[in-house]
Amino acid sequence: IAAPDGDRRKQISVRGIAGLGDVAEVRKSFNRHLHFTLVKDRNVATPRDYYFALAHTVRDHLVGRWIRTQQHYYERDPKRIYYLSLEFYMGRTLQNTMVNLGLQNACDEAIYQLGLDLEELEEIEEDAGLGNGGLGRLAACFLDSMATLGLAAYGYGIRYEFGIFNQKIVDGWQVEEADDWLRYGNPWEKARPEYMLPVHFYGRVEHTPDGVKWVDTQVVLAMPYDTPVPGYKNNTVNTMRLWSAKAPNDFNLQEFNMGDYIEAVLDRNLAENISRVLYPNDNVRKNCYEKSFGADPYPIPMHVAIQLNDTHPALSIPELMRILVDVEKVDWDKAWEITKKTCAYTNHTVLPEALERWPVSMFEKLLPRHLEIIYALNQMHLDRVAALYPGDIDRLRRMSVIEEGDCKRINMAHLCVIGSHAVNGVARIHSDIVRNSVFKDFYELEPEKFQNKTNGITPRRWLLLCNPGLADVIAEKIGEGFITDLSQLKKLLEFIDNETFIRDVAKVKQENKLKFAAYLEEQYKVKINPTSMFDVQVKRIHEYKRQLLNCLHAITLYNRIRCNPSKSFVPRTIMIGGKAAPGYHMAKMIIKLITSVGEVINNDPYVGDKLKVIFLENYRVSLAEKVIPAADLSQQISTAGTEASGTGNMKFMVNGALTIGTMDGANVEMAEEAGEENLFIFGMRVEDVEALDRKGLVYNAREYYESLPELRQAIDQISSGFFSPRDPGCFKDVVNMLMYHDRFKVFADYEAYIKCQGQVDQLFMDPREWTRKVIRNIACSGKFSSDRTITEYAREIWGVEPSATAIPPPNLPRN
C-alpha cells in the first residue's frame, strides 16, 4: 500500500509523539506482513488481513522484549509468582500492546498514511472473553500491573476454545451464541508443544513398600499456549500461559484397532472437552497443575509463590502434595509445610451458593489419589482443632473440609484456607466479613493468616487506552507520572476551582457521550439524547446486584412523567447491560423485564427525550471501554454485605462518573477517599441488613408495598401485564420473588434510592458543581490502581519487592 500525499498533523498526547523513523518502520513492517498474507492466500486484502498485518507488526516489537525478559529472569533467578486463575478476561490485545510499548501514535500515523483507519482495524479484533466478569477481569489487570512493576510473574489458566457466550436479545429475551473467538486464529499466542505435560485421571491407588502409586490412569495431555504480557514502557514482557487439553495419540488405540474408529475419535473429543468452553456460572469445573521443581524441593517457597484466584484452582494444593510426596519422596510433614508456605488464597465471594462444594463420589472416580490426600490433610487439621477445642464437636463439623450428609462433599474454600499461608478478601468490608463470618472459626484458629487486599484496576487500559481525551487533559496539568503512580491524581485537587480545567473535563465527557451515542445508533439503531444524563449499570445480571431496583426507579420516573408531562424533568438515558448465566432463570427474567419496560417507555410519545431505557446487548470488555468514559452516573447498588469489592465502580470513578451506591464492597473505601458527600450514598448498611435478618425481625416486603404508593404502582404494573400486554402473566415469578422470597431486600432500599436519585437530578442541573465533584472523584481515585494492590500482594504475601528499573530494550546490550 502506498502512502498518500501529505502528512497528517501528529497529535501530541500521553500516548507518545510519533517519530518519523518509527512511522516508516511500522509502515514497512505492515506492508511486509500484508505481502506474505496475500502471497499465501489471495490477491485482494480484506479488513481482517489489514488487522492481522498490524497485529503481527506490533507483535514483532514484543518478541525481542519477551525473550530479553526471560533471559533477565534466568540470569537473576528472582522469586517467581504463579497467578493461578480459571478466568483471564483479557478483552482485546492490539491497542493495549501499542499503548504499553509506546507505539500507538506511530501506528496511528503509519496506518493513516496507508489510507486506513486504526480504530476500524482495532474493532476487527475478537475479545478474548475467557472470563465471566469481575474475577477474570481482575486477573487481567493484575497481569498488566505485575509486568509494569517488573515482577517475574506468570498467569496460568485454561485456553478455552469457546469463551463467555455472545449475548443476543431476541424479543426481549437473552439468547446465547457460542463465542468462537479462535475461528480466525489468534496472532498473540505461541503454541509450546515442547512443554506439553501429561495430566492423569481415574485409575486406582496402590500402597506399596516403595510408596504410593497411582496406576491405570487415563492421560490427557496439557498443551501450553503462551501470550506475551507487556509492562508499561519498561521493556518487561511477562507470560500468560493457557493450557489446552489434547488427547494423546494412543488414546483408545485398542478400540481403533478393533475397527471402531468413530468411537475412538469421540473419546478423543471427550478428553479435549476439558478446555472446550468457559463454564458461564460463578463456579468453574477445572484446575491448573504445577510441575515438579527438581530434585531438591525444600526451598520451593523461597523461589516460588502460587496465588489461587478464588477456589477454582484449589486442587493445586493436593496436587502439589502428591508431586512432593509420591514423586519427589518428600516426608509428608515437610511436604505440607512447603505447600502451605508456597500457596496463598484470595476469596471473592460471601454468597453461600457461590462457594464450591464438590461431591466426594466424583473425586473417588476422577481423582482417587487426590481424595486420599484431602482426607489425610483434613484429619491432620481436625486433630489440631480437637486438641485446641476439646469436646467442641460442632466446631469440628463447621471446620471440616469434608461436609457430611446425604451427599458427602468437599468444601473447596476450607481446603484453600488450611493449605495456604495467607488468605485475603478483596475490599476492607469484605475482608471483615471473611474474618467475622465466612471463615470465623478459621480466623480464631490462625488470625495472622487473614489479610485484606482491596482490588484495583490498571490505569493503562482503563484511563489511557479507553479515555485518551481525559488522560491528555490530566497530563497537561500534572504530567504523565500518574500512568504508573495513580496516587499522583491527588495533585488535581489544586485545580478543582480552575474554570479552564472544569471546562476541559466537561468537554471531554461530552465528546465521549457524543461518540457513544453515535456508536449506539450505528450498532443498535437506537437514537438517544447526548445531552441527557447517561445513567449506567453494567455488570453480571444477578439478584444481589439489584438491577431490579434500577428498573423500579425507571418505572417510577416514567409514571411521574406520565402523570405530569408538562413538568420539567432532568432528561435521563438509563443503560443497563450484562449477561445472565444460561441456567439462572430469575436473571433471564430480569433482562426480559428491563427490555419490556424499555419497549414501553421508549415508544411513549408523552415521554419523548425525557427518559430512555436501553439494554446494552453483549456487554464485554470492548463495550466497557466505550460506555464507561461516556457515563455520567455509575450505579453500584448491591445489598450491603453482598458485593465483595467490585472493580467497575473504580473504572467509572477514574473516568469521571459520579457514583450512586450502597455502603458495600469498595464503595466504602471510595467514599472514604473522596468524601461521602461526593458520592450519592443511600440505603441500609451491613448492620441494618443483619438486624433485618435476626430472629424476630423478618424482612416483610408487603409492608413496603402497602406503605409506598409509587412502589405499589410499579409492582402492580409489572404484575398486571402493563409492560407485557401480549403475555400479562410474564413477570409473575419476578413479582412473587420480590414480594415473598427476596433475599436481597429490594423494597427496603427503594424509598432511600428514589430520594437519592432526586439529589442526583438536582446536582446534574448545576453542570459546574457536578463537574467539580467529578474532578474530586478523579483526584481521589488513585488508591484503586491495581499497581497498588499488586505491590501489597508482593510485599505482604509473596515476599518480593517490585522493581522500577526498566530492562534494556533488545537493541541495547543486556548490561
Tell me which of 27, 92, 540, 553 is the catalytic residue.
Answer: 540
Distance CA 63, CA 61 (A): 6
Q: Which of 56, 68, 92, 348 is catalytic?
A: 348
Assess contact for 157 and 245: CB atoms under 8 A: no
d(CA 250, CA 271): 12
Task: Catalytic residue, from 268, 381, 539, 542: name it.
Answer: 539
- Return the number of other C-beta atoms located less than 10 Å from residue 749's C-beta: 23
Nearest to 684 by CA among 754, 757, 760, 749: 749
| Dist. CA 471–CA 230, nearest whole Å | 20
Note the helical H segments in 389-498.
393-399, 412-418, 428-433, 440-445, 459, 468-478
- Exposed/middle/buried for 593, CB within 10 Å: 0-12, 13-18, 19+? buried
- State how far the Cα of 176 lies from the Cα of 127, in Å rounded to an integer: 16
Catalytic residue among 246, 620, 651, 783: 651
* CB distance 117 to 69 below 8 Å: no
One-letter amino acid at 815 equals N
**What CA–CA distances, in Å, run from 690 to 554, 668, 686, 740?**
28, 17, 6, 18
Give the span between the Cα atoms of 189 and 223, in whole angstroms.
12
Residues 750 and 464: beta-carbon distance below 8 Å: no
Vertex 54 angle, CA 52 and 58, to 5°: 115
658-661 and 680-681 strand pairing: parallel
- Residue 588 among the catalytic residues: no
Q: Which of 15, 340, 545, 588 is catalytic?
A: 545
Computed over its alpha carbons, how large is the radius of gyration of the chain? 28
The answer to whether residue 414 is catalytic is no
Of 556, 595, 647, 789, which is the active-site residue? Answer: 647
Residue 76 designated active-site: no
**540 in catalytic set:** yes
Active-site residue, 500 included: no
Q: Is 248 exposed, middle or buried (0-12, 13-18, 19+ CB in 10 A)?
A: middle
**Measuring CA to CA, which residue among 695, 647, 680, 696 is closest to residue 749?**
680
What is the distance between the alpha carbons of residues 4 and 93, in angstroms, rounded to a whole number?
A: 28
CA-closest candidate to residue 486, choices 322, 647, 247, 650: 650
Enter the DSSP assignment of 310.
Answer: S
Given a contact cutoff of 8 angstroms between Cβ atoms, the answer to whether 121 and 50 are in contact is yes
Ramachandran category for residue 360: left, alpha or beta (phi over 0 → left; psi -120 to 50 → alpha): alpha
Provide the grid cell at 295.
Answer: 530434585
Query: Does residue 539 have an active-site annotation?
Result: yes
- Looking at residue 492, the DSSP 8-state letter turns out to be G
Catalytic residues: 348, 539-540, 545, 647, 651
